[in-house]
A and B are shown apart, each in its own frame.
Chain A
């Protein structure tokens, strides 16, 4: 009886630590995805500021990363990952899930539309800033301040 209890406790503890690891992995995965978005945006941002020569192929690669990541992102905020692993996601991600997911969908759609719309430097300068406006638009409600 007593041994059974110990085994059961150990099993539960083991299972919940497996679950905790899985949750931490999801949090790490979405943090990686966000970092990837930032990295992808750096070259076009430098082009906008005139610090780097315009490169259509590089811009298109970035937009593809944006669209692909934006489609994947909503799956990386499952219930149970509200806290831990230094997540900066605010509770509103879960309490206002419909809006959160709609914002990702709009970002994906905007990035895809921009792939068609951007053909040269002029169309890049006209379109790209509108695509990345999504970043601040979403961070305002869904991400905590961080150093």
Chain B
């Protein structure tokens, strides 16, 4: 009997150790992070900034200057309310004291400088595929932006989502850190578009349905689904949804927000358009090129009309 109790205890400790080991926040390799601190190009970083859509979440609601990244936007989800933090160049309230490696760990592995997990409301699942040079350039640009005082409030999450350690389990299941490899059989524009959409623009983060754990259902990537922010339905942007659109139509929507029917996109997509409008037309055309190549996939069924 006593032996059984000992065995149970040993197994429990072993299990816990394995859990702790598997769910530990893992940053980039030291080798990857080395030598990043210098050489960033702020002009190129500005393109990364717009393509990555940083302003959409990190500009304080109501603030019209999209370079003031004081944070505070609330993302209401079924897991609780996430609040975007201050990522301005403020030394203590923002990320002004961060190294490039800190930013790379945050954006590409979801790990904070203190070694904690970030929640995947921050789309590091997408940024993980980016080139590390782009993160370095982005940091060079972020450092040119104004310092905004004031920390954003903490997330408001119910148990068990309030336990950050569990994000480690989520990462094992859903975080893929493979860089995007160019497809030699496609054009340069298509590859650029894919990179912009899948490594920076994080289109699929909203335009895909998610499972009950909040992971993207990969078979239905880009096939749309219920709006994770609540009311509404995110459109299917595979050929199933955009079949009748030309590439020029997709590029035009990214530039102005207008559909071929001269309808105008709503909700947070209107803000995404502000980011896309700041890119070059060549980049918008490249994204259109890639998005128009997505094969038709049926999304989840819409609820019946009420």
What is the interface of chain A, defined by CB distance below 8 A to chain B? Answer: 38-39, 41-42, 45, 49, 84-86, 88, 90-91, 129, 132, 135-137, 139-140, 142-147
Contact = CB atoms under 8 A, between A and B. Distances in A.
Given A144-B233, A145-B266, A147-B302, 13 more contacts: A90-B231, A135-B257, A135-B258, A135-B264, A136-B257, A136-B264, A139-B266, A140-B270, A143-B267, A144-B227, A144-B232, A145-B269, A146-B235
A139 B270 CA distance: 7
- Of B262, B273, B302, B306, chain A has the most CB atoms within 10 Å of the CB of B262
B305 interface: yes
Interface residues of B, number: 29
A147 B266 contact: no
Interface in B259-295: 261-271, 273
Given A42-B261, A90-B267, A135-B264, A147 B224 contact: yes
Contact of A145 (B233, B241, B257, B302): B233
A136 B302 CA distance: 25
Contacts, number: 76
Contacts of B233: 144-147
B191 interface: no
A49 B258 CA distance: 12
Interface string B216-236: 000000001001001111111
A45 B236 contact: no
Nearest to A83: B306
A134 to B, nearest CB: 9
B236 A142 contact: no
Contacts of B224: 147
Contacts of A147: 224, 233, 235-236, 241, 302
B252 interface: yes
Contacts of A137: 270
Contacts of B231: 90-91, 144
Given A38-B262, A42-B262, A135-B257, A145 B306 contact: no
Contacts of B252: 49
A45 B263 CA distance: 11
Given A38-B263, A135-B258, A146 B270 contact: no
13 contacts: A41-B258, A42-B261, A45-B258, A85-B306, A88-B232, A88-B266, A132-B258, A136-B264, A136-B273, A139-B267, A144-B231, A144-B267, A145-B232
A147 B266 CA distance: 11
Interface in B238-260: 241, 252, 256-258
